[in-house]
Amino acid sequence: MTLADRHDPAPVRETEVVFEGRVWDVRRDVVDLPTGPVVRDYVQHTGAVAIVALDDADRVLLIRQYRHPIRTHEWELPAGLLDVPGEPPEVTASRELWEEADLRAERWWRLGEHHSSPGGLTERMHVFLARGLTVVPEDERHVRTDEEAGLKTRWVPLDEVADAILAGHLGNATLIVSVLMARELRSRGWAGLRPVESLD
């Protein structure tokens, strides 16, 4: 029997938006569980993508960005919200790689998916592996504003990032999951990667 999560929504007796935010809302549901009804508050999230951009020397592109809720300048992967209605995750990933890293990729694979904090947030993170990287010409680059204007980038060997994760020096969940997944798949000769056939 395959080990897998089971998607089986519990009946929702009542639901309401209790807070409307600038980016996300907070929803309150009354849910019928086998043990009886419970009330659950959670952030209704659009979902997001992240990209492990890996060059020919097996270096990963990292981005350092200030994250105010945790008061930390975190090393992360290029990433972004699924905030364009109807846009497939792989197209969002390609756009975010261009916007945040001034890169394009010739080859794409689906590395995996995970839920960032399933006890309080609906976010589903789609992670892609991008290879065959080229730098976007200066006149075709995205103009970054707000917190993205201060992004710092760094190319780091995949093994060095994994070692920093295991030593407890890096705390971004998507970075941790994605880099360790990429290193494990590389050790298996990349067997199991799901290709992305085309990008708009």
Residues labelled as active-site residues: 148
Please state the separation of Cα 193 from the chain's center in Å.
17
In the DSSP assignment, the letter for residue 137 is P
CA distances from 26 to 11, 85, 122, 178 (A): 19, 20, 10, 27
Question: What order do you get walking across the sheet with 72-76 strand by strand?
Answer: 72-76, 59-67, 152-157
Signed CA dihedral, 69, 72, 73, 75: sign only = negative
- Cβ–Cβ under 8 Å, residues 100 and 148: yes
**Residue 51 to residue 125: CA distance in whole angstroms:** 10
**Residue 110 to residue 116: CA distance in whole angstroms:** 17
